[in-house]
């Protein structure tokens, strides 16, 4: 949901996802004088108003980057801010105040109030959930100091609380999807790259014991360590009856489940599909940033089922490629499913076309090296007018795209920067922290596009791997949900980059400005910050 309002020159627009709200502010030139930032309040339902918080303080308040401070004491010196202390399917009010004059005695001027309702995780056509995946973060370090969730000596209750915090309900969404197969009138089909989570396996077995039809296609590349792990966890499922190994020289990279109601025929009716970027592993569910996306739509579910049937029947890689290439899986209702492997690169061409058509903004998170044509559309050589924010993963650092330039931020703080807590990646396997594969174009407009799934937008993902990609057009709720989360990750690492730069160039200089000069970059004609200020706070439909 999104909402906007104006009051006495102040403008406020909000975009609500499931577990995040992005707020954008704007003011005319005459309100800049002596503006020291924005103080922002939030009210949940009929509860009390509470101040949103930041980390930076005025010089007289000292430095303490480990403890947030209320924005009525240390205002937000940005024209965009996000709130990630919200719950799904919940109504919130936000109001802003201009903070003026003296840092030690702020004068707060009332701005507008808006009402938003966060998206639901259990209702609607699209149900989208992101984990926190922030074991290497200040929030985790504060909440669970020195906790390694793989430590054999860790207290079970502490480990459970840490996992629940990291998952933010993502694991439960997978389990509840499986549990909808309550008896022999239901079926669940799974296509999975990595299956090594006992709870998921146990819920599949429980559904099987209830009489539900369970079928699994799993990655089974020869002489591959993951194949052995998959077979170990799936040992209690009968071969060729409930499970089939997908033998490929590349990667069977799918992570989708299909729910079917067995009515009228053995195949029944596909009703819903669960897709996204999440592998069923400790890393995937808890330590890497990931998404689970449920689509309650028989047409979409049927497209996935068409492919699943071929895979379960033992279709070869070549036969799969021919089928996908000749059946482009085009839909007519603003949604499209694209599978691989394929020989025509139609999925990558579609991605590039969508990015190149963006008019206002492109934001994204990806994991591995992308196809050159795709990355060139993300990173043009000219600034242009389209805002581009994005991340690509590595373990010790994260590469970001900032309009038409790049930056590198610490992925975690081994020793901490000044004022920060020490972080750890203990328990993390491999070198992936940002595992999300998602692109959002023009989310601030009424015609956004979201691309999500398992596909890494690479040449090998298109031509060799088994992958799926879901393209959703015109759904502002879906776009707001993805945009809020991608901007959470982007801002997290951009802040780390900025702090690192400031730490190296001016140790001890982590302060708010004591006058209105912080607003200058936001009013420089054609600058990124001016573009962001105007774009994120545009198209306000005033609330009554």
The model's pLDDT over 145-182, given as tens digits with 9 standing for 90+, comes to 878 887 888 899 999 999 999 999 999 999 999 999 99
- Decide if 486 contacts 364 (C-beta within 8 A): yes
Backbone angles phi, psi at 244, to 5 degrees: -140, 130
- CATH entry, 126-131+168-315, from 3.30.1360.40, 3.90.1150.10, 3.40.50.720, 3.30.870.10: 3.30.870.10
Task: Profile the chain (544 residues) by mean pLDDT over runs of 10 residues.
Answer: 95 96 96 97 97 94 85 97 94 98 97 96 94 79 82 88 92 98 97 97 97 97 95 94 95 97 87 97 91 96 96 95 85 83 92 93 87 83 82 72 79 62 63 86 96 94 96 96 94 81 61 95 91 88 49
Map 171-202 to HEC letters: HHHHHHHHHCCCCCCEEEEEEECCECCHHHHH
* Dist. CA 428–CA 450, nearest whole Å: 29
Nearest alpha carbon to residue 14 among 64, 81, 63, 72: 81
pLDDT score for 211: 96
* Dist. CA 464–CA 483, nearest whole Å: 29
Nearest alpha carbon to residue 479 among 213, 86, 126, 152: 126
Q: Domain coordinates of the chain in residue numbers?
A: 2-118+518-536, 126-131+168-315, 346-500
Strands 397-402 and 387-392: antiparallel
Nearest alpha carbon to residue 254 among 436, 465, 429, 462: 465
pLDDT score for 249: 92
Q: What is the DSSP letter of 422?
A: P
For 107-132, give one letter per residue: b (16+ CB within 10 A) or e: ebbebbbbebebbebeeeebbbbbbb
pLDDT score for 543: 45
3-state secondary structure of 300: helix
Residues in the chain, how many?
Answer: 544
Between the alpha carbon of residue 13 and those of residues 116, 488, 491, 543, the distances in Å are: 10, 17, 18, 11
**Half-sphere CA count of 146, side-chain side, radius 13 A:** 3
pLDDT score for 331: 65
First to last CA, the chain: 16
- CATH entry, 2-118+518-536, from 3.90.380.10, 2.160.10.10, 3.30.750.24, 2.60.40.10: 2.60.40.10
For 291-314, give one letter per residue: b (16+ CB within 10 A) or e: bbbbbebbebbbbbbebbeebbee
pLDDT score for 99: 98
Fold of 346-500: Endonuclease; Chain A (3.30.870)
3-state secondary structure of 219: strand
126-131+168-315 and 346-500 agree in CATH topology = yes
Q: Which residue has the tokens 């776009």?
A: 479
């Amino acid at each position: 949901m999104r909402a906007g309002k104006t009051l006495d020159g102040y403008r406020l627009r909000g975009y609500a996802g499931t577990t995040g709200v992005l707020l954008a502010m704007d003011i005319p030139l005459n309100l800049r004088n002596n503006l020291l930032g924005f103080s922002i309040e939030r009210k949940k339902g009929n509860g009390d108003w509470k101040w949103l918080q930041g980390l930076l303080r005025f010089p007289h308040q000292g430095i303490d980057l480990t403890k947030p401070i209320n924005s009525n004491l240390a205002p937000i010196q940005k024209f965009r801010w996000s709130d990630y202390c919200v719950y799904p399917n919940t109504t919130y009010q936000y109001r802003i105040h201009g903070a003026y004059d003296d840092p030690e005695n702020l004068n707060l001027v009332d701005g507008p109030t808006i009402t938003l309702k966060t998206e639901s995780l259990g209702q609607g056509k699209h149900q989208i959930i992101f984990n926190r995946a922030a074991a290497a973060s200040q929030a985790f370090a504060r909440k669970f100091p020195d906790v390694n969730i793989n430590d054999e000596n860790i207290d079970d209750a502490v480990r459970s609380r840490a996992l629940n915090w990291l998952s933010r309900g993502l694991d439960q969404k997978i389990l509840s999807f499986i549990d909808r197969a309550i008896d022999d009138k239901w079926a669940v089909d799974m296509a999975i790259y990595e299956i090594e989570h006992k709870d998921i396996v146990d819920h599949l077995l429980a559904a099987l014991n209830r009489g539900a039809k369970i079928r699994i296609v799993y990655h089974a590349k020869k002489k591959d360590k993951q194949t052995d792990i998959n077979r170990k966890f799936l040992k209690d499922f009968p071969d060729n009856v409930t499970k089939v190994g997908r033998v490929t020289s590349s990667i069977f990279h799918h992570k989708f489940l299909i729910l079917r109601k067995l009515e009228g025929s053995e195949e029944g009716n596909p009703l819903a599909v669960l897709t996204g970027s999440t592998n069923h592993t400790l890393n995937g569910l808890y330590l890497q940033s990931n998404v689970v996306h449920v689509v309650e739509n028989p047409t979409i579910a049927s497209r996935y089922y068409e492919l699943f049937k071929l895979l379960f029947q033992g279709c070869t890689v070549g036969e799969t490629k021919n089928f996908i290439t000749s059946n482009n899986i085009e839909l007519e209702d603003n949604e499209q499913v694209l599978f691989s492997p394929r020989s025509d690169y139609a999925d990558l061409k579609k991605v590039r076309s969508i990015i190149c058509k963006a008019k206002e903004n492109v934001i994204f998170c990806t994991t591995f090296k992308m196809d050159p044509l795709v990355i060139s559309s993300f990173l043009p050589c000219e600034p242009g007018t389209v805002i581009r924010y994005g991340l690509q993963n590595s373990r010790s650092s994260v590469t970001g795209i900032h309009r038409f330039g790049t930056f590198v931020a610490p992925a975690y703080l081994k020793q901490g920067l000044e004022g920060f807590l020490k972080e750890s990646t203990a328990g993390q396997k491999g070198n992936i922290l940002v595992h999300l594969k998602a692109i959002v174009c023009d989310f601030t407009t009424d015609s956004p596009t979201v691309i999500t799934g398992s596909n890494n937008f690479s040449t090998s993902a298109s031509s060799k791997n088994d992958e799926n990609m879901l393209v959703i057009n015109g759904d502002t709720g879906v776009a707001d949900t993805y945009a809020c989360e991608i901007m959470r990750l982007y801002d997290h690492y951009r802040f780390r980059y900025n702090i690192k730069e400031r730490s190296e160039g001016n140790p001890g200089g982590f302060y708010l400005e004591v006058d209105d000069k912080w607003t200058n970059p936001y009013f420089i004609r054609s600058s990124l910050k001016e573009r962001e200020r105007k774009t994120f706070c545009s198209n306000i439909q005033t609330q009554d």
